[in-house]
């Protein structure tokens, strides 16, 4: 599957962290009981499904997308907190996909994670001092005095001053913001060069969120850290990040500088996400794009572009010219006919004749009584007659053939839409006559 890669065009750059075709699939029937009940299955949750991406040295990179799109799994697999099921990982230019022993230990010191929940992520039985010192002990860093000094230094780096006052405290004695700073101090103790911050502020009170985010910014500048921030909050990522990658169902669909993602998103999925971000200027004329339906099951992925079942800009079949909203409505109806989900008996009940029933089907899907494109309307009319005559297979055949869209057949290529912006969407196929308006 082709992906938005985030690679720079000239190809001369080396990356701090790079993943190539990274995959993390979780088996579905892992329990013995479900294996016995449902039989062996090679089905998998394709949480990360062939992602290629390079994070530049010193960069702040944001990962966004709806819940369940694979952001956390991508982040954790990239730093091998989860073992990938496919692909390659490079750190500072060295492949670490299968690294073990001293090599993986070195990498684990370099790449640290900061968890979302400051209430769950600290051990309540450890004092701040013990909690921050633990990784230094585990990795056998320096002498006892050096470890001691390092603990106090990181407590202060994380903005907890004076360090001596915080060191003997237990988590229960700290506020949410202070706990998050302790988590940050623990991650900094090993002097990492890379941080993965998974929703680092989402559990915090709004009043202290900004100070934690400022701390991350300051640490990145002062310590030269490279960081990946995972968040649902595009405004937060715009504030924090140089570039943003948008994930949908295990794939990266767009990668671009943060400003461009927010001000001029290219992928229809990004456009929908961005349209729901509240604007500073409420008078600004921007249409809110409603995303219909849920994120599909990552076990049973849609063919072609995974976003096509929800995409408001799904490409129209060649030779027809629809109003785009009507086309989207026709696609929804087509989907249900193909799935055998349109029941003619239920529709016929309480209706005088087939004509009234056909209109009722159109109405249920927001398809107008007559499509402006007469040829398309004839196709739909014939298909609905087939449905009502009980010939669902014939209806499915005609709709499948006549209303085929390039969005439903893959692979979907990634296009360099501007010198800095990449999107995996057929709208940007140069060879195809699809309109962008
Ligand atoms: N250990 C696991 N076993 C099976 N499925 C998993 C596991 N971890 C994650 N998943 C599935 O993988 C998909 C991606 O999950 P992930 O948590 O990476 O998404 P996310 O974008 O980070 O979501 P959120 O924003 O809610 O944290 C989801 O369908 C999730 O249910």
**For the segment 87-101, what is each residue's pLDDT rounded down to a tens digit?**
999 999 999 999 999
Ligand 1 centroid to Cα of residue 389, in Å, is: 43
Ligand 1 centroid to Cα of residue 45, in Å, is: 9
Q: Where are the beta strands (DSSP E) in 122-225?
A: 194-198
**For the segment 169-181, what is each residue's pLDDT rounded down to a tens digit?**
999 999 989 999 9
**For the segment 292-324, what is each residue's pLDDT rounded down to a tens digit?**
777 888 888 899 999 999 999 999 998 998 899
CA distances 346 to 56, 322, 333, 341, Å, are 58, 29, 16, 11
Residue 353 has what pLDDT? 81
Query: Does residue 433 carry a pLDDT above 80?
Result: no
Which ligand 1 atom is nearest residue 230's CA? 22
Our mutation pick for probing the ligand 1 site, out of 47, 74, 83, 197, counting the most ligand atoms within 8 A of Cβ, is 47
Q: How many Cα atoms are found within 13 Å in the side-chain-facing hemisphere of 204? A: 23
CA distances 21 to 85, 251, 412, Å, are 10, 10, 15
Domain range list for the chain: 1-31+42-124+188-294+412-437, 324-404
Q: Which of 223, 163, 161, 221 is nearest to 187 (CA)?
A: 223
Using a pLDDT cut of 90, give the percent of the chain over it. 72
Task: Note whether 192 and 185 are within 8 A (CB).
Answer: no
**Which single residue is written with the structure tokens 């079942």?**
309
Residue 37 has what pLDDT? 55
Query: Does residue 436 carry a pLDDT above 70?
Result: no
Residue 299 has what pLDDT? 86
What per-residue string of b and e applies to 336-362 under the rule 16 or more CB within 10 Å gives b? ebbeeebebeebeeeeeebeebbeebb
Query: Does residue 405 carry a pLDDT above 60?
Result: yes
**For the segment 214-260, what is each residue's pLDDT rounded down to a tens digit?**
999 999 999 999 999 999 999 999 999 999 999 999 999 999 999 99
- In the predicted model, what is the mean pLDDT of residues 352-367? 88
The residue nearest atom 6 of ligand 1, judged by CA position, is: 26
CA distances 269 to 23, 157, 369, 395, 424, Å, are 21, 39, 29, 30, 10
Mean pLDDT for the chain?
89
Tokens of 241: 């990040």
- Taking the C-alpha atoms of residue 159 and residue 170, their distance in angstroms, rounded to an integer, is 17
**Which single residue is written with the structure tokens 């004076």?**
162
Our mutation pick for probing the ligand 1 site, out of 28, 46, 73, counting the most ligand atoms within 8 A of Cβ, is 73
Query: Does residue 1 carry a pLDDT above 50?
Result: no
Q: Say what the pTM is.
A: 0.90
CA distances 117 to 169, 182, 197, 206, Å, are 19, 12, 11, 14
The residue nearest atom 30 of ligand 1, judged by CA position, is: 68
- In the predicted model, what is the mean pLDDT of residues 370-379? 94
- Nearest-5° Cα angle at 76, 73 to 79: 145
> Which of the four pLDDT bands, split at 50, 70 and 90, describes residue 7?
very low
Burial class (CB in 10 A: 0-12, 13-18, 19+), 230: buried
DSSP-assigned letter for residue 239: H
Residue 40 has what pLDDT? 52
Residue 38 has what pLDDT? 54
| ipTM surpasses 0.85 | yes
Query: Where do runs of H (alpha helix) occur along 299-391?
Result: 324-338, 344-348, 354-364, 374-388
Identify the CATH number of the domain defined by range 1-31+42-124+188-294+412-437: 3.40.50.300
Query: Does residue 42 carry a pLDDT above 70?
Result: no
Which ligand 1 atom is nearest residue 48's CA? 14
**For the segment 256-291, what is each residue's pLDDT rounded down to a tens digit?**
999 999 999 999 999 999 998 877 555 666 678 878
Q: How many Cα atoms are found within 13 Å in the side-chain-facing hemisphere of 357? A: 21
Which ligand 1 atom is nearest residue 28's CA? 4
Query: Does residue 2 carry a pLDDT above 50?
Result: no
List all residues whose CB is within 6 A of at least one atom of ligand 1: 26, 45, 47, 65, 67-73, 298
- Taking the C-alpha atoms of residue 197 and residue 215, their distance in angstroms, rounded to an integer, is 12
- Backbone phi, then psi, for 104, in 5-degree steps? -70, -35
Pairing of strands 60-64, 226-230: parallel
């Amino acid at each position: 599957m082709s992906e938005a890669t985030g690679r720079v065009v000239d190809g001369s750059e080396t990356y701090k962290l790079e993943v190539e075709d990274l995959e993390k699939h979780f088996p579905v029937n892992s329990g013995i009981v479900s294996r016995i009940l449902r039989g062996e299955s090679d089905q998998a949750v394709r949480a990360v499904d062939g992602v290629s991406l390079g994070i530049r040295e010193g960069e702040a990179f944001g990962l966004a997308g709806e819940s369940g799109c694979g952001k956390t799994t991508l982040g954790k697999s990239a730093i091998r907190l989860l073992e990938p099921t496919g692909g390659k990982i490079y750190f500072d230019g060295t492949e670490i996909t299968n690294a073990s022993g001293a090599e993986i230990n070195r990498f684990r010191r370099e790449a640290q994670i900061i968890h979302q929940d400051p209430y769950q992520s600290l051990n309540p039985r450890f004092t701040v001092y013990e909690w921050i010192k633990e990784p230094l002990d585990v990795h056998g860093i320096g002498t006892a005095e050096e470890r001691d000094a390092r603990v106090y230094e990181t407590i202060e780096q994380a903005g907890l001053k004076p360090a001596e006052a915080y060191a003997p405290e237990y988590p229960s004695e700290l506020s949410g913001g202070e706990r998050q700073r302790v988590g940050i101090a623990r991650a900094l103790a090993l002097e990492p060069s890379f941080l993965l911050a998974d929703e680092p502020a989402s559990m915090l009170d709004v009043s202290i969120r900004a100070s934690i985010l400022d701390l991350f910014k300051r640490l990145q500048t002062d310590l030269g850290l490279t960081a990946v921030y995972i968040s649902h909050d595009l405004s937060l990522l715009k504030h924090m990040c140089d570039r943003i990658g948008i994930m949908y169902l295990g794939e990266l669909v767009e990668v671009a500088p943060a400003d461009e993602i927010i001000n001029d998103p290219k992928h229809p999925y990004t456009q929908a996400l961005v349209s729901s971000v509240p604007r500073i200027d409420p008078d600004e004329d921007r249409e809110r794009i409603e995303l219909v339906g849920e994120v599909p099951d990552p076990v049973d992925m849609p063919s072609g572009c995974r976003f096509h079942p929800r995409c408001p800009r799904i490409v129209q079949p060649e030779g027809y010219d629809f109003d785009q909203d009507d086309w989207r409505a026709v696609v929804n109806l087509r989907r249900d006919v193909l799935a055998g989900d349109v029941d003619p008996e239920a529709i016929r009940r309480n209706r005088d004749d087939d004509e009234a029933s056909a209109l009722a089907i159109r109405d249920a899907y927001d398809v107008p009584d007559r499509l402006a494109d007469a040829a398309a309307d004839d196709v739909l009319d014939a298909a609905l007659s087939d449905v009502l005559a009980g010939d669902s297979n014939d209806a499915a055949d005609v709709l499948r053939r006549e209303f085929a869209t390039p969005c439903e057949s893959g692979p979907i290529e990634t296009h360099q839409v501007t010198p800095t912006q990449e999107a995996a969407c057929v709208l940007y196929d140069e060879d195809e006559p699809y309109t962008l308006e």
